[in-house]
Structure 1
Amino acid sequence: MTQDNLVEQLTVAHNQLAKHATNVHKFGGSSLASTQCIERVVDIIRQHCQLNDIIVVSANGKTTDALFAIFQCAIEQSPELEEKITQLENMQSELINSLLNAASAARLQSYLTEDIKQMKAWLSDQPETHHADILAFGELWSARLLSSVLNERVCPAIFMDARDFLVIDNEQEYNVDYSVSRPGFEAKLHANHLTVVTGYICRDSQSVTRTLGRNGSDYSATIMAAISHANQVTLWTDVDGIYSADPRFVPQSRKLHRLPNGVAKELGRLGNPVLHANTLKPLADGKTHLHVASSFDPSVPGTEIGRFGQLAKQELSVTYLNDLILAQSQSFIGDLGREAGETFAALCADETQGLIVIRQEQQKAVSQWLAAHDTEVAFTPVSILATVGHKVTRQGNVKAKFKRTLRHQKVLAVVDAWSGHSVIAILSEPCSVELLNNVHHDMTKDAKHIGLVVAGLGNIGVKFLEMLPKQLARIPALENLHLVGLMTSKKALINTDGIDASHALSLFEQHAVSFDKALLSSWLKSHPYDELIVVDITPSEKFSQLYLEFFKEGIHVICANKWAASAPTPKYNELLAEAKANNSQWLGSTTVGAGLPINYAIQDLLKSGDQICEISGIFSGTLSWLFETYDGSVPFSTLLLDALEQGITEPDPREDLSGRDVQRKLLILARAAGFELSLEDVERQDLVPNELQAMTTEEFLANASQIDDFFATQLNEAKTSQACIRYIARFNVKDGKIKAKVSLECLSKNDAFATITPCDNIFQIRSLWYQENPLIIRGPGAGRDVTAGGLHSDLVTVCQNLANKQAVVKIKGLE
């Protein structure tokens, strides 16, 4: 695509979305660390940005660290100073020349040369005066380079030095003067351009360069959101979201897909490695959502921070900080204690016990503050360990559990945070990785959230939903299962905060909306759950074709739908491979035998080392009823129409008489037993005469008597041999040759298949272990209650398996 074409598309999109709020995208240093990383960022901008969006950048890779080292060498007058400057200049030159055409590269190279000359001048004469100016070069070079690359390859882009408009009060509170900063920014904007802004740097009211502290580019991004009234801020970083503990040290940490604003702010205050204390300050009004995503894997849903419902508020996480100071004084009791806590932004405080916890560098300032009150103070080295969650201080059960997990530790105090979003233990010893893992496990072991989507609201779907509330209440494995989606062929109700299972059908009637595959696919790719299960109770081949997409997203499928399990062999094998590759579970116990454990029996035999050589039986409840009931006293067509009226047959009884359903079921069981064959390999006898097959349903029913002679002849021939007729499915393997067939057979009345309760199914398995005396399973093979029950059995199995599933945390560059 040419730049002109892309610009045209972006302009059209902008005009169509003229009232759409600006979005802010921030890219951290590791996301911009190399040529390859920057190329990836450019692709992300192509896919996720629109004209007039704002892009905030950190310095490339380790540039800021290199500038700190250069500054230190200048202070110490180290002989390594010149070498370090040269290394940094070469690194920047390499990025410029690898990403830009010759003309653009020459232009940026000349700017870099001038900057290096200015840096050397500052370093040689009072470097302390220009400390922030020297550090600012990192963001300056990064923004200048990215804007040039975008102009060459994507669309018009401008570069802004935040010092030209962003004003703060000081480098302690970092409060922004929006009355100056907002108009200053707006005056520099170019319509229909991407704006690339330096992160981390700004100026004070005296126009002196200031920084926003380490990791201050995230704060820059949210400041830009406040200045521009942005709809969303995306922090593109080196991890794919916020986790329930630091994933570098807690391998079992879980991604927190959605975080309420207050909880996120508390995590940042208490040392979360991705969120930082000031980041959320500009978003206090809650109108802007914050999104944390991975620039290394942008297709993976990240963490959303904003206003959410009850489900998101149930999340818990554990965080810690070492190397802190506990300050205890009489002056910290009562109102003065609260004042001290606010003055020093204490990590935790208890004005009843007269204590605050501060960072080590604050110890001198606290001593001086107390000296003014002529009060003694005791300082003790401590660490803190906190459980963080929405209004967690009001949850007595959570606080009690937290205290129990720490009963063998040296805990000096357990304090409720003033925000109400954390309970903090003050420890006399550093928090170890082992302790962090143990507490995280105890506090979050039941926290995995599983979303449930039910597709198909016919008789069986309705019964499944009627059973769901009691199942959720009494089955421990379903404790963290949430009904979040209901679908029919035309409408859907999706609610990420959960659908009340007790009123699911009425809620669907009131709130369901039309949907299409694209809308469903979009939601499934960004669902906010640890796991998602789709229960397919439709008869739809079209819906079964979505399974491949489900499996690619790691979604689990439980189905009564037979289409996928009996698909052509290449497609079936593709589904199995995709499910395995993405750890998706695919259960279909009710595809054959409704709630009967035939699939379970086959799987159990195979897992135990047995080998199955024959599967046979009566697999259709409809044909079971017809042939158990048919005795010649009335014509077969009369019996068939009676079964239709009772709802025993399909609306078109030819679906049953064709044997196609039985053929698919035999194929499913043969595949479950480990054999590879296709539907065409299963010979099928169609009980509908050729002349009746092309008719409409109404025409067939009107001419149904034409089938009577055939069935009467079959029955009479069987009677002469003291036998009966049954529609039988048979699969067997002998000398490596497979034979599979479904057909009407004449059976001895002593045969196991001769006498069963009408509508029942019967399955017979012969194997190495069950050779002379085969394994037989029989019982109801159809019916809404038993089928719904079988689906619930599969649901419990999947949830039990997921309870033991270990999450894999991918960390690209978090330090």
Structure 2
Amino acid sequence: MKVLKFGGAIVGSAEHLKKVKSIVEAEKNPIVVVSAMDGVTDLLEEIVEEASTGDSKSIISRYEDLKTRHTELARQVVPADSQSAALSELNRLYAEMDSMLQALTIFRDWTDNILATFLSYGERLVSVIVGEMIGARVLDSTRFIIAEGDADCGYSIDEETTTEKIKAAFSKIKGAVVCQGFIAGTNDDEIATLGRGSSDLTAAYIAKVLGAQEMQVWKPVDEFMSADPKKITSAYLIEHMSYEEARELSINGVGTLFSDALTPLAEAKIPLSMKNICNGNTTVISATPNPEDKVIKGIASQDDCVMYTFSGLPSDYLPRMVSESAMVLESDHVPYTVFSLSAAGGSFSVCIPVEYEGYFNNLSQNLSSLDSCKMQTMRDLASVVIVGENMKNATGTAGKLFNALGRNNINIVAMNQGSSETSITVVLEKKNIKKALNAIHESFFLTEYQELNIFVVGTGTVGGSLLEQLHSQKELIMNQNGVKLNVMGVADVSKFILDRNGVDLTKYNELLKTEGKESTPESLKKALFELNAFNCVFVDCTAAPAIAAMYLDLLQHNISVVCANKIAASGDYDNYINLKNTARKRGIKYLFETNVGAGLPIINTIGDLIYSGDRIVKLEAVLSGTLNFIFNTISEEIPLSKAIKMAMEARFAEPDPRIDLSGKDVIRKLVILARESGLKVSQEDVEKNLFIPDDFFEGTLDDFWAKVEKFDAEFEEKRRVIAAEGKRWRFVATLDEGKTKVGLQAVDSRHPFYDLEGSNNLIIINTARYKDPMMIRGYGAGAAVTAAGVFADIISIANIR
């Protein structure tokens, strides 16, 4: 035999009730427990309160609507041959309700028993409809579910009497039975209610006493998910869990299961199946869940909490007050999320959802009235509870939790581990709740992949190529590397778009034009900080000083930075050091590999050498793919001016080639390499030996072209001289014993730079360990390879766990 409980959202829907009929008919002699329709109990209570004021007019329409809803539902789901009986019984109950309302209006007073009796009609009306629909006998739960206590302190089930009466009530009944949840009788033959949501408790006691094979609770949703699916799109159904895990999740706000119902089920070891009537998804709660499950089973959260801290309490008074506080909260089913105690300071703290503040007011007033007691209130908080029975036997769970939060710049206001060792609760600022849930969920549940939330600034040659690569390689990276790339934002020089769920990279240019918001450094920061995404990566594919100036603020908000922009790493030395230190202290990344050699692993290699205790003795490098292309292209047929234009056509050179020809780009790269080698170097410290006269860089771009064309003949003469000597020109950056310089050098065939082709770069590194030089060679210019280097930096961030 099984006990099937159907909640208010199901019994109020004709569509769902038709499924209920099929579910019941598939079982042998089930016992069906029903709730009132959703919202009906609250409405009945409001009707009683308003009727007792003598104003019946204000409630007539709502009261009549309530009756109409039940009547129409009966007509839709009850078979034709049973409708007459169903409607007759409904009308009888309506008449009883009419009489009670008339009396309330006249006498303008009501007792707890009168209120409970009137509220009981919510379940009674539904039980008539369901009973006639499935052709089952309807039993009055007040005859066998017996409550003890009173309305002021709350009712609980009288176990001994209830057990005796359940056995008697069901002993001679054959076939399906329908009875009501929520309501009970008393030993004084009055009616009581067991608390909102307590229909689960009614079903559980019946299941325990009658030794049911299983109890089922049917809902129109998946009740137990790994986290709130409204906040975590990757949350999934929990298929198996223990009674204790279900209790912890329930009391902390997950689903609507009445947590007290788990006690009788656990005592009798009766499995509870939480079933979704829409899709059949099931969570089985039992004494023997899968022992190979993850350490954490689920995450509960409360979005808006208040925390009371009482201090200055006498040490002998403290334990009693803590105990009383717990009793008050538990008796009212208030999900208090932190209960921390400090005997030394005579203090304790309680954190509860704001909606339950009223339950705690009396206690807080009593405590704060003590002369020595001081009360502090903190608002705008949220709580997160991780739950898992395997936590008892696993080490490092708390550390993993704190690491996930700390890495995402989320401060913990308070924390506590449950005495059963199946839960850890943290309290944090409300604004961080979604970010925290995503970070924790990924850390504990999504070990098969890690998500990076990426914001790309710059849609030019490098940025555009990067976005194309991110789009085309997304599936491969997910399958191969276990990294989910979510490009949640894109910005160009004037507009930006932001979508937490991901920007459509097939039409980002169109979206920027039609939906883009004004893009400024301040607007970008504001949008990112408000979004507060976890594992966030800011990618700068611009050459804008204003964007580089954002890095420190971003890092201080635990947003990793990846940049092709050289300005920050080669600019003010103190700022460079501050950026690196901030990233290191916060456990995030500031990466700029492409600042020197596009996609070549130069900075990472030098970093590995330095971190392992080596020392850079000498470094020689051809660092400008653009200049190398120009010097490899110049010939008798191709003068300097034409070679420069060819570099622009090949997209190696900047739109204004003077940036490349001035050597500034190489100087910046050399400064970065020197700094990464451990030296305090600025651009002003670099000795320069340029090949273009200084006055060429003055005036307009047209002026430059006119001057450089006149310079072609002179430059060709110089080229012929070195060619006759069997040499070639290379623009070389040198770091030697702490001194830096850049300039044009003529190298012969014995030098490694001699055979550099096209836009290739070559870096020669001598270290204290590498007497024979280490060489790194490859393409050092071009949008695709630079974007690939940025892409590699982004992927490397996923290695932080």
* TM-score normalised over the length of structure 1: 0.50
Q: For 1:759, give the aligned amino acid.
A: S
In structure 1, what is the Cα distance between the partners aligned to 2:485 and 2:200? 51
- Which residue number corresponds to residue 275 of structure 2? 416
Does the CA-based 8 Å contact 1:491-1:515 persist in structure 2? yes
- Which residue number corresponds to residue 231 of structure 1? none
In structure 2, what is the Cα distance between the partners aligned to 1:396 and 1:602? 39
Q: For 2:466, give the aligned amino acid.
A: F
Q: Name the SS for the 2:578 alignment partner.
A: helix
In structure 1, what is the Cα distance between the partners aligned to 2:499 and 2:197? 47
CA distance 1:421–1:697, shift in 2 (3 Å): farther
Q: Per-residue deviation at 1:387?
A: 3.0
1:673 to 656, 677, 680: 677
CA distance 1:686–1:397, shift in 2 (3 Å): closer
In structure 2, what is the Cα distance between the partners aligned to 1:592 and 1:647? 17
In structure 1, what is the Cα distance between the partners aligned to 2:200 and 2:584? 59
1:655 to 659, 666, 682: 659
Note the 1:93-108 alignment, pairs <5 A: none
CA distance 1:493–1:610, shift in 2 (3 Å): same
Deviations 1:324-364 (A, max 9, x none): xx999998999967x656769xxxxxxxxxxxxx9999699
- Please say if 1:366 is aligned against 2:366: no
- Which residue number corresponds to residue 602 of structure 2? 598
In structure 2, what is the Cα distance between the partners aligned to 1:422 and 1:510? 41
In structure 2, what is the Cα distance between the partners aligned to 1:516 and 1:537? 15
Q: For 2:392, give the aligned amino acid.
A: E
Identity fraction in percent: 25
Note the 1:265-414 alignment, pairs <5 A: 340=180, 366=202, 376=210, 386-389=224-227, 398-399=236-237, 412-414=271-273
- Which residue number corresponds to residue 456 of structure 1? 458
Does the CA-based 8 Å contact 2:735-2:741 persist in structure 1? yes
Q: Per-residue deviation at 1:576?
A: 1.8
2:529 to 525, 529, 532: 525
Does the CA-based 8 Å contact 1:553-1:582 persist in structure 2? no
- Please say if 1:741 is aligned against 2:741: yes
In structure 2, what is the Cα distance between the partners aligned to 1:706 and 1:333? 109
Does the CA-based 8 Å contact 1:618-1:727 persist in structure 2? yes
Q: Per-residue deviation at 1:427?
A: 3.0
In structure 1, what is the Cα distance between the partners aligned to 2:287 and 2:557? 45
In structure 1, what is the Cα distance between the partners aligned to 2:781 and 2:727? 26
Q: For 1:702, give the aligned amino acid.
A: A
Q: Name the SS for the 2:695 alignment partner.
A: helix
Q: For 2:731, give the aligned amino acid.
A: Y
Does the CA-based 8 Å contact 1:453-1:533 persist in structure 2? yes
In structure 2, what is the Cα distance between the partners aligned to 1:396 and 1:579? 28
In structure 1, what is the Cα distance between the partners aligned to 2:204 and 2:603? 75
CA distance 1:714–1:421, shift in 2 (3 Å): farther
Q: Name the SS for the 2:597 alignment partner.
A: coil
Q: For 1:778, give the aligned amino acid.
A: R
- Which residue number corresponds to residue 553 of structure 1? 557
Unaligned runs of 5+ in 2: 1-38, 52-107, 113-161, 185-193, 217-221, 246-265, 289-387, 394-421, 425-439
In structure 2, what is the Cα distance between the partners aligned to 1:359 and 1:578? 53
Does the CA-based 8 Å contact 1:496-1:528 persist in structure 2? no
- Which residue number corresponds to residue 392 of structure 2? 434
Does the CA-based 8 Å contact 1:618-1:763 persist in structure 2? yes
- Please say if 1:541 is aligned against 2:400: no
Q: Name the SS for the 1:800 alignment partner.
A: coil
Q: Per-residue deviation at 1:686?
A: 3.2
CA distance 1:414–1:687, shift in 2 (3 Å): farther
In structure 1, what is the Cα distance between the partners aligned to 2:175 and 2:494? 62
* TM-score normalised over the length of structure 2: 0.51
- Please say if 1:465 is aligned against 2:324: no
Q: Per-residue deviation at 1:635?
A: 3.3
- Which residue number corresponds to residue 732 of structure 2? 728
Q: Per-residue deviation at 1:710?
A: 4.9
In structure 2, what is the Cα distance between the partners aligned to 1:334 and 1:504? 63
- Which residue number corresponds to residue 796 of structure 2? 797
CA distance 1:177–1:463, shift in 2 (3 Å): farther
In structure 2, what is the Cα distance between the partners aligned to 1:767 and 1:585? 26
Deviations 1:523-569 (A, max 9, x none): 22222422211111111111111111111111011111111111111
Does the CA-based 8 Å contact 1:461-1:537 persist in structure 2? yes
In structure 2, what is the Cα distance between the partners aligned to 1:397 and 1:171? 31
Deviations 1:2-25 (A, max 9, x none): xxxxxxxxxxxxxxxxxxxxxxxx
In structure 2, what is the Cα distance between the partners aligned to 1:423 and 1:175? 35
Q: Per-residue deviation at 1:714?
A: 3.6
Does the CA-based 8 Å contact 1:594-1:781 persist in structure 2? yes
Q: Name the SS for the 2:776 alignment partner.
A: strand
Q: Per-residue deviation at 1:689?
A: 1.3
Note the 1:212-231 alignment, pairs <5 A: none
- Which residue number corresponds to residue 587 of structure 2? 583
In structure 2, what is the Cα distance between the partners aligned to 1:368 and 1:404? 16
- Which residue number corresponds to residue 313 of structure 1? none
- Which residue number corresponds to residue 639 of structure 1? 643
Does the CA-based 8 Å contact 2:761-2:778 persist in structure 1? yes
Does the CA-based 8 Å contact 1:596-1:778 persist in structure 2? yes
- Which residue number corresponds to residue 484 of structure 1? 488
Note the 1:79-118 alignment, pairs <5 A: none
2:621 to 595, 612, 617: 617
- Which residue number corresponds to residue 786 of structure 2? 787
Q: Name the SS for the 2:795 alignment partner.
A: helix
RMSD of aligned alpha carbons: 5.0
In structure 1, what is the Cα distance between the partners aligned to 2:466 and 2:596? 17
- Which residue number corresponds to residue 323 of structure 1? none
Q: For 2:286, give the aligned amino acid.
A: L
Does the CA-based 8 Å contact 2:240-2:283 persist in structure 1? no
Q: Name the SS for the 2:765 alignment partner.
A: strand
1:514 to 504, 513, 518: 518
Q: Name the SS for the 2:609 alignment partner.
A: helix
Q: Name the SS for the 2:743 alignment partner.
A: strand
Q: Name the SS for the 1:475 alignment partner.
A: helix
In structure 1, what is the Cα distance between the partners aligned to 2:670 and 2:282? 58
In structure 1, what is the Cα distance between the partners aligned to 2:203 and 2:482? 54
Q: For 2:465, give the aligned amino acid.
A: K
- Which residue number corresponds to residue 302 of structure 1? none
In structure 2, what is the Cα distance between the partners aligned to 1:633 and 1:667? 36
CA distance 1:557–1:365, shift in 2 (3 Å): closer
Q: Per-residue deviation at 1:789?
A: 1.3
- Which residue number corresponds to residue 693 of structure 1? 697
Of structures 1 and 2, the larger Rg is shown by 2
Does the CA-based 8 Å contact 2:215-2:271 persist in structure 1? no
Does the CA-based 8 Å contact 1:388-1:421 persist in structure 2? no
- Which residue number corresponds to residue 235 of structure 1? none
Does the CA-based 8 Å contact 2:648-2:654 persist in structure 1? yes
In structure 2, what is the Cα distance between the partners aligned to 1:423 and 1:370? 21
In structure 1, what is the Cα distance between the partners aligned to 2:47 and 2:618? 77
Q: For 1:552, give the aligned amino acid.
A: Q
CA distance 1:365–1:595, shift in 2 (3 Å): closer
In structure 2, what is the Cα distance between the partners aligned to 1:564 and 1:426? 56
Q: For 2:546, give the aligned amino acid.
A: K
In structure 1, what is the Cα distance between the partners aligned to 2:534 and 2:676? 28
In structure 2, what is the Cα distance between the partners aligned to 1:742 and 1:362? 80
2:504 to 479, 500, 513: 500
Deviations 1:633-666 (A, max 9, x none): 4432333334344443222222111100000011
In structure 2, what is the Cα distance between the partners aligned to 1:361 and 1:643? 74
CA distance 1:663–1:369, shift in 2 (3 Å): closer
